[in-house]
């Protein structure tokens, strides 16, 4: 058995199941899963709750000024079999998943100082390898030397439907039209921002999971993982 531990970088569009996929991989391999999208959502939530986003406008200077007050960490939750995210010791796993936070996370994550702070944190988390990390710039900026890079995508309508089911299952009152508009606007913002835009790394493998089950995605991953290990 090959015991080599590697870094697995998963990038891609919003709501295409990156975190679910990454969690399943981490569980299978006994790796640590780090949800970088949750980290940016946590900063956006903090900005919302502390007056740096007012009347739909993100005050970049105030967000930057708050960065030194934000401490983010992940703690394993045995009930979920996954890690929850905490900000300054407070559990925010549920709060960061609202549509309100979704509407501002791209703007907050495009601030250079925000990205610099979180990228540094993410790189420190990966020093020992044996991690699965998902986000927008993992294979291009955070870990350009990652042994396995995956670029995930799916049809925007499919992604909107998935997100709609997820939110309504939690009791959120949203419309499919609202979710679709959010998905498309986030795609545009993520791919057009000046700082670390979403793009496929040259050596990343594309996984379009528009019509794939979780089992089919994992079977696809197993082949690619074994290929990288040389098994």
Query: Do residues 142 and 204 lie in contact, with contact meaning Cβ atoms separated by under 8 Å?
Result: no
Residues 163-179, mean pLDDT to the nearest whole number:
92
pTM (predicted TM-score): 0.77
Residue 2 has pLDDT above 70, yes or no: no
Confidence tier at 3 by pLDDT (50, 70, 90): confident
Is 3.40.50.300 the CATH number for 7-220? Answer: yes
Confidence tier at 19 by pLDDT (50, 70, 90): confident
Domain regions of the chain by residue span: 7-220
CA angle 44, 40, 167 (to 5 degrees): 75
* C-alpha separations of 117 from 64, 94, 147 in Å: 10, 23, 24
H-only helix segments in the chain: 18-29, 36-49, 60-66, 99-109, 112-125, 156-169, 176-192, 214-229
pLDDT of 168: 93
What would the pLDDT profile of 82-137 be if each residue is shown by its tens digit? Answer: 778 999 999 999 999 999 999 999 899 989 999 999 999 899 888 889 999 998 88
Of the candidates 199, 208, 168, 223, the one whose C-alpha atom is nearest the C-alpha of residue 16 is 208
pLDDT of 231: 65
pLDDT of 68: 95
Residue 153 has pLDDT above 60, yes or no: yes
């Amino acid at each position: 058995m090959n015991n080599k531990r590697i870094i697995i970088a998963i990038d891609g569009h919003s709501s295409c199941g990156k975190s679910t996929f990454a969690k399943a991989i981490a569980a299978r391999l006994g790796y640590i899963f780090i949800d970088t999208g949750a980290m940016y959502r946590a900063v956006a939530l903090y900005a919302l709750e502390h007056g740096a986003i007012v009347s739909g406008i993100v005050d970049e200077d105030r967000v930057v000024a708050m960065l030194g007050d934000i401490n983010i960490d992940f703690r394993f939750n045995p009930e979920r079999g996954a890690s929850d995210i905490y900000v300054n010791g407070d559990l925010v796993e549920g709060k960061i998943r609202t549509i309100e936070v979704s509407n501002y996370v791209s703007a907050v994550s495009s601030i250079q100082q925000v990205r610099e702070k979180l990228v540094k944190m993410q790189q420190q988390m990966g020093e020992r390898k044996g991690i699965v990390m998902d986000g927008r710039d993992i294979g291009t900026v955070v870990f350009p030397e990652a042994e396995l890079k995956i670029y995930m995508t799916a049809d925007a309508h499919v992604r909107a439907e998935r997100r709609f089911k997820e939110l309504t299952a939690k009791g959120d009152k949203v419309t499919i039209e609202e979710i679709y508009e959010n998905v498309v606007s986030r795609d545009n913002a993520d791919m057009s921002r000046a700082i670390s835009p979403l793009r496929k790394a040259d050596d990343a493998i594309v996984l379009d999971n528009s019509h794939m089950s979780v089992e089919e995605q994992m079977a696809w991953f197993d082949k690619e993982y074994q290929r990288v290990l040389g098994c």
